[in-house]
Amino acid sequence: MGEFFHSNFVLRWLRAACVVAFLCVHNVKAQTGWDVMKFGGRDYVSLDSLKKFYNFPTLKRSGNTVTLEAKNLIFKVNIGSQEAFLNGVKFVCTYPVIESGSKVGISRIDLTKLIDPVLRPSYIANAGNFRTVIIDAGHGGKDSGAANAYNSEKSYNLKVASELKALLIAKGFKVILTRQSDVYLTLQERVEVANAVKEPAIFISIHFNSGGRSARGIETFTLSPAGVAHYGSDIKSSDFETRNGNLNDSANVALATAVHGQVLGKIGVNNTLDRGIKRARFSVLTGVKYPAILLEGGFMSHPYEARLMENPKYLTAVATGISNAVTLYQRAVSYRKPAAAPAQ
């Protein structure tokens, strides 16, 4: 790790962050009553309840920062912010963390749809029962995607997809690519390829980003649960409809966590590179019936990251991170029999 970006000690162990977050919280106490509060018409759950439910030994507050700590797990939020950090991996919550009287709370939807699946992936029913991975290289043919002085996004996407395919096959997975060459597929056609797969599978869409010369880093998208808007957009009535992908809300987040953490770990991490795990309603995420994520593996529009993408080692690092994440995710969601989720 750290081959491409300078890393510091605090974040060096992020490579293993998801292993830790996935595996250490299995000694959950029986539900002893969640402290639910209303705020702005929404349900929030106090961090004191989280501490009790997940057996965190310590809760610390320093200014607006609240930290729950267990032996190998640190969960940190800032009052007023939508960002939550689990062992340094950034999650973008649907609603900001609030303070009400003496209590600090996280929204119930963020607890049930974001935090719990990450802390207790083994409680996600039947998620580990797959050996097929569908890899979607974004764009292709007449649709080049983003472009920079060196190349176009469609070509980087396909290179990573091809490397990932080889890595997964070597580990015994069956792999299906939505495209194997420079051809154009509509988003709906990608969904159809995925949904035609008969056996349990997961779906990983690979893209590279674009957005001005200063934006950089990695972001991982997973489908917004019903009632949660597309990232950066206002909520609209159709956001309350349940889509195919919402059948896998918990698995989606667990898969995103694994991929995001492992890719960051592989390329070398610093704060500017972790843009977080975000919610979106991209067509492939709404339409595919299997757990699905969309990775943006860096910015074509950033001068330095653009050069990196021309380095085959960088693309290999992204592919290796995803490949490791698939194994990690499968292990994490297979850990024990499912049980009830909290605060439903």
Q: What is the smallest separation between the CB atom of 140 and Zn ion, expressed in angstroms?
A: 10
Which among 94, 120, 107 is positioned nearest to 36, based on CA atoms?
Answer: 107
138 scored as a contact of Zn ion (CB under 5 A): yes
Name the residue nearer to Zn ion (CB basis): 145 or 342. 145
Token pair belonging to 285: 């995420």
- Dihedral pair phi/psi, residue 159, rounded to 5°: -60, -45
7-20 in b/e form (b: 16+ CB < 10 A) is: beeebeebbebbbb
| Contact window for Zn ion (CB under 5 A) among 6-14, 47-55, 142-150, 238-246 | 142-150
Pairing of strands 103-107, 98-100: antiparallel
Least spacing, CB of residue 326 vs Zn ion, in Å:
21
The minimum distance between CB 58 and Zn ion, in angstroms, equals 42
Q: Which stretch binds Zn ion (CB under 5 A): 91-99, 113-121, 145-153, 175-183?
A: 145-153
CB of 207 to Zn ion, least distance (A): 3
Here the tokens at position 5 are 């970006």
Task: Please identify which residue in 105, 145, 217, 321 interacts with Zn ion, judged by CB under 5 A.
Answer: 145
CB of 46 or CB of 157, closer to Zn ion: 157
Q: What is the dihedral of CA 222, 319, 128, 190, to 10 degrees?
A: 60
Q: Which residue is nearest to Zn ion (CB)?
A: 207
Residue 282: CB minimum distance to Zn ion, A: 10
CB under 5 A: which stretch of 35-43, 124-132, 141-149, 186-194 binds Zn ion?
141-149
Instruction: Compute and round to an integer the Cα radius of gyration of the chain.
Output: 19
In angstroms, the CA 265 to CA 333 distance is 20
Task: Tell me: does residue 260 bind Zn ion (CB under 5 A).
Answer: no
What three-state secondary structure class fits 79?
Answer: strand
Q: Is 120 in the site for Zn ion (CB under 5 A)?
A: no
| Dihedral of alpha carbons 13, 17, 19, 21, sign | positive
The residue range among 53-61, 84-92, 161-169, 201-209 that interacts with Zn ion, by the rule CB under 5 A, is 201-209
Query: φ and ψ at 58, to 5 degrees?
Result: -130, 145
Which of these ranges, 139-147, 161-169, 212-220, 250-258, lies near Zn ion under the rule CB under 5 A?
139-147
Residue 208 C-beta: closest distance to Zn ion, Å? 6
Closer by beta carbon to Zn ion, 155 or else 250: 155
Strand partners, 136: 205
Using CB under 5 A, pick the residue from 207, 216, 243, 302 that binds Zn ion.
Answer: 207
Q: Pick the piece of the chain touching Zn ion (CB under 5 A) from 32-40, 61-69, 131-139, 227-235.
A: 131-139
13 vs 231 by CB, closer to Zn ion: 231
- C-beta of 278: minimal distance to Zn ion in Å? 15
Query: Within 13 A of 20's CA, how many CA atoms are on the CB side?
Result: 17
Residues 64-103 that bind Zn ion (CB under 5 A): none
Q: What is d(CA 132, CA 149) in angstroms, rounded to the nearest whole number?
A: 36
Rounded to an integer, what distance in angstroms lies between the CA atom of residue 130 and that of residue 299?
31
C-alpha to C-alpha distance for 255 and 244, rounded to whole angstroms: 16
Residues that bind Zn ion (CB under 5 A): 138, 145, 207
